[in-house]
Structure 1
Amino acid sequence: MDTYAHETLRDRVVLVTGAGRGLGAAICDMLGANEARVVALDIDADSAHAQAQKIRDGGGWACAFGLDVGDEGAVIGVLDEALEQCGRLDAIINNAGVDVTTSIDELKSSDWERVLRTNLTGPFLMAKHGLAHLAPGGHIVNIASTAARRAWPNASAYHASKWGLLGLTHSLHAELRSQGIKVSAVIAGGMRTPFLLDRFPDIDVDLLQDPGNVAAAIKFVLTQPPQTVIPEVMVLPMKETSWP
């Protein structure tokens, strides 16, 4: 046996939050193409179901649920339903994220709470309540950002959430290794997704990367041999401006 052979994603049950568009949709496409069984979650239930149908139309297996990841009761309920449909859970990819781009004096407390609730509390709840459902050798992947490593103006809530998510990831990596659970952070640089393009229509798309490239890095993280874990990886476009 080749001890360096990567694991396959075939038949592994992988749950993806924020699955309806952008990077989440690219992750689902990658998983479906590699014969994983996909649980697509999004606060916009219609977009989650559309993504799941796309995978099924391609001959794959997928189910979908609407979910606000910051709602603890809803998280518990969806995890139970997903397990009932799939029989197991092998990985959780915490991708859902929001941002409010404004100065600190204009930032509403309600928007601060919404960003932190989605970007940080959501992954905490998915990990806390998903842990009991993860199969042996399970994996939690948190999608961070270069905003977790350096800061720019008018993004205080987003920076706070992503720095916190990186801290949560490394803490869980240290805590859960002894239980055989892998925890990884994927720090993604700017991507050609609605997350950026909708808010910054004048952005130079040549400075951004295809979200499929980040999805490919996530595949690499997920398919390491059982004795290996990647706690953190950064994936940048060649012309990234938010990181030197």
Structure 2
Amino acid sequence: MQQSNGKVILVTGGAQGLGKAISATLAQEHTVIIGDVQEDKMVMLARQLQENNGNAYPLRLDVGNEDSVKEVISEIAEKFGRLDALINNAGVDFTKPIMEMTAAEWDLVMTVNLRGPFLTSKYALPVMAKQGGGHIINVVSTASLRAWPEASAYHASKWGLRGFTQALFTEARRHNIKVTAVIAGGMKTPFLLDRFPDIDQTKLQDPENVAGNIKYLLQGPAETAVPEIMVIPLQETSWP
């Protein structure tokens, strides 16, 4: 693995949807590690980005599994010598009423959406602190600001992630590490389109738009932090 002159960045859930857009947007200037459980997709994406002169490498990552997270962070630190940014993007949901949701489904949403960012942050922080700084970006959602039916687990996880991000900010800045919550509105990704095939896509934004804002955050001046940013379609129906 050869590091570019840019940052070394780990993108969780980086093989499809917003994660894919983030990986593609950043790989031209930085070294992107695509962390995902979908091995075929992440390998294919890394190959495509490399063929277009991008710096992207796949590493299987199960964000809810502590051993997996620990191993991936350690491998990145060993092979690249640093980890400049962690983008916690992986997320899942089950669209169903509370009375129909199983405990296993609830637990899976919490494991991926909330436990995952905790674990990746826990193991990334020492690496970043040792090198003198870094940036953790958590992809949240407008679901962390209000609620709608049949998304109880998702809402709970994203409200929790927003709170965790704010707490993480207060601790990480002691080590010169920035933390940002990116509150993203509806996007044209499989996360929505596969579950809601009749959704009005004119009310959605391209994931590349959100990825562009994440790129902007990573270019910010060292002495300035952006704790939270909201990126929504102009015609977003879930906000305000």
Deviation at 1:87, TM superposition (A): 1.7
Deviation at 1:156, TM superposition (A): 0.5
Deviation at 1:11, TM superposition (A): 1.7
2:171 is aligned with what amino acid?
Answer: E
| Matched ranges for 1:30-41 at <5 A | 30-33=25-28, 35-41=29-35
Deviations 1:177-219 (A, max 9, x none): 1210100000000000000000000001110000000001111
What is the aligned counterpart of 1:65 among 56, 59, 65? Answer: 59
2:177 is aligned with what amino acid?
Answer: I
The answer to whether the 8 Å contact 1:191/1:210 transfers is yes
1:196 is aligned with what amino acid?
Answer: L
1:15 and 2:1 correspond: no
2:165 is aligned with what amino acid?
Answer: T
State, as a whole percentage, how many aligned pairs show the same letter.
Answer: 53
Deviations 1:34-62 (A, max 9, x none): x1001001111111112211221111222
Once residues 146 and 60 of structure 1 are traced to their aligned partners in structure 2, the CA distance between those partners, rounded to angstroms, is 31
| Matched ranges for 1:53-202 at <5 A | 53-134=47-128, 135-202=131-198
Deviation at 1:32, TM superposition (A): 1.3
Deviation at 1:129, TM superposition (A): 0.8
What is the aligned counterpart of 1:213 among 183, 188, 209? Answer: 209
Structure 1 length-normalised TM = 0.94
Once residues 178 and 72 of structure 1 are traced to their aligned partners in structure 2, the CA distance between those partners, rounded to angstroms, is 25
**Equivalent residue, structure 2, for 1:223:** 219
SS, match of residue 89 in structure 1: coil
Instruction: Tell me how many residue pairs correspond in the alignment.
Output: 235
Once residues 113 and 146 of structure 2 are traced to their aligned partners in structure 1, the CA distance between those partners, rounded to angstroms, is 17
The answer to whether the 8 Å contact 1:45/1:67 transfers is no
Structure 2 length-normalised TM = 0.95
What is the aligned counterpart of 2:231 among 217, 226, 235? Answer: 235
Deviations 1:89-142 (A, max 9, x none): 100000000000100000000000000000000000000011112232200000
**Equivalent residue, structure 2, for 1:4:** none
Greater mean deviation of Cα atoms: 92-101 or 24-33: 24-33
Deviation at 1:85, TM superposition (A): 2.1
SS, match of residue 137 in structure 2: strand
**Equivalent residue, structure 2, for 1:49:** 43
Unaligned runs of 5+ in 2: none
The answer to whether the 8 Å contact 1:102/1:155 transfers is yes
Unaligned runs of 5+ in 1: 1-8
Deviation at 1:10, TM superposition (A): 4.8
1:94 is aligned with what amino acid?
Answer: N
